[in-house]
């Protein structure tokens, strides 16, 4: 007999040392950054931008991604909990040392918050190194889609952000997710693998943006890549939300959930960036203020 669903019962931990664990999510998060660095290195080399600028960019982006995604989750999805206990926003552990201490990492990250954090960090980066803001945002848009694919794959390994019930043959029984338990049926029910839907969409967007970059370089109009990124990625997010479980209780009964509401401004911004009048602008970055050749 062939089952019309897939059973997913993988432990999210690769290694578990009781007070410390390494998860597939963290591994995939890191792999996403590594692949993103490799792609950016190729783009920077093609355009004659020093590696020193790329190394500094990585620091800005890593910090902004984690802080932005964490703050986004706390403020968008659980504001009452974290405003009442603000220290919990930044503590990657629970319990007390020597008692019931456990390193948990940041469990609760919002992609919209991560994007906002990165956009702000890129503004600071562009101002410091005298780079047109939209130039660096365009390049980050390419690898941003790739990073998003790895993050959603990590969510799948974590059995989190599950979809709504389905009887499709690729429905997944997330055995380690309480959200997959149906009280009426008294069992775990197959759900849409919404994380994989998003991961595949983001991967396709990455390849499209990379193709668009190669096809149009060096006559790329500033902001065009970012515009396509915002429209395609957040439109995919908007529609996939219809087959995703609500992330928090206050979303129950809402016509549009928080993920969809937060996606609409990004889609509108993408439309604006594509149709605005812009220019092709070469860059002359300042790598080091102490180096007169780089002024």
Residue 32 has pLDDT above 60, yes or no: yes
Backbone angles phi, psi at 23, to 5 degrees: -105, 155
- pLDDT at residue 103, as a whole number: 52
Over residues 219-232, the mean pLDDT reads 94
- pLDDT at residue 292, as a whole number: 41
Convert the pLDDT of each residue in 74-131 to its tens digit. 777 677 766 666 666 666 555 555 555 555 555 667 778 889 999 999 999 999 999 9
Res. 228 pLDDT band, cuts 50 70 90: very high
- pLDDT at residue 293, as a whole number: 45
Average confidence score pLDDT of the chain: 84
- pLDDT at residue 283, as a whole number: 62
User: What is the residue extent of each domain of the chain?
Assistant: 6-247+254-279
Over residues 270-274, the mean pLDDT reads 95
State the Cα–Cα distance between residues 93 and 84, nearest whole angstrom: 18
Residues paired with residue 173 on neighbouring β-strands, in sequence order: 7
Res. 290 pLDDT band, cuts 50 70 90: very low
């Amino acid at each position: 007999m062939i089952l019309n669903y897939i059973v997913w019962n993988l432990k999210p931990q690769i290694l578990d040392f009781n007070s410390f664990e390494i998860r597939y999510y963290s591994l995939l998060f890191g792999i996403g950054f590594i692949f993103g660095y490799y792609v950016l290195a190729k783009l920077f080399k093609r355009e004659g931008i020093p590696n020193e600028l790329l190394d500094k960019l990585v620091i800005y982006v890593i910090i902004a991604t984690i802080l932005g995604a964490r703050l986004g989750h706390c403020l968008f999805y659980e504001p009452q909990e974290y405003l009442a206990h603000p220290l919990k926003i930044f503590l990657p552990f629970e319990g007390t040392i020597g008692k019931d201490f456990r390193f948990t990492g940041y469990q609760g990250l919002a992609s919209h918050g991560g994007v906002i954090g990165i956009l702000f960090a890129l503004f600071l980066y562009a101002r410091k190194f005298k780079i047109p803001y939209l130039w660096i945002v365009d390049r980050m848009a390419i690898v941003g889609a790739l990073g998003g694919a790895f993050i959603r794959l990590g969510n799948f390994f974590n059995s989190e952000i599950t979809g709504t019930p389905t009887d499709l043959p690729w429905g997944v029984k997330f055995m380690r997710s309480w959200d997959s338990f149906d009280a009426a049926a008294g069992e775990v029910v197959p759900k849409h693998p919404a994380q994989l839907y998003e991961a595949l969409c983001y991967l396709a967007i990455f390849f499209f943006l990379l193709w668009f970059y190669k096809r149009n370089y060096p006559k790329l109009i500033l902001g065009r890549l970012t515009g396509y990124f915002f429209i395609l990625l957040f439109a995919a997010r908007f529609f996939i939300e219809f087959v995703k479980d609500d992330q928090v209780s206050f979303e129950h009964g809402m016509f549009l959930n928080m993920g969809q509401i937060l996606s609409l401004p990004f889609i509108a911004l993408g439309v604006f960036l594509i149709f605005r009048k812009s220019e092709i602008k070469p860059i002359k970055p300042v790598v080091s203020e102490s180096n007169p050749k780089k002024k």
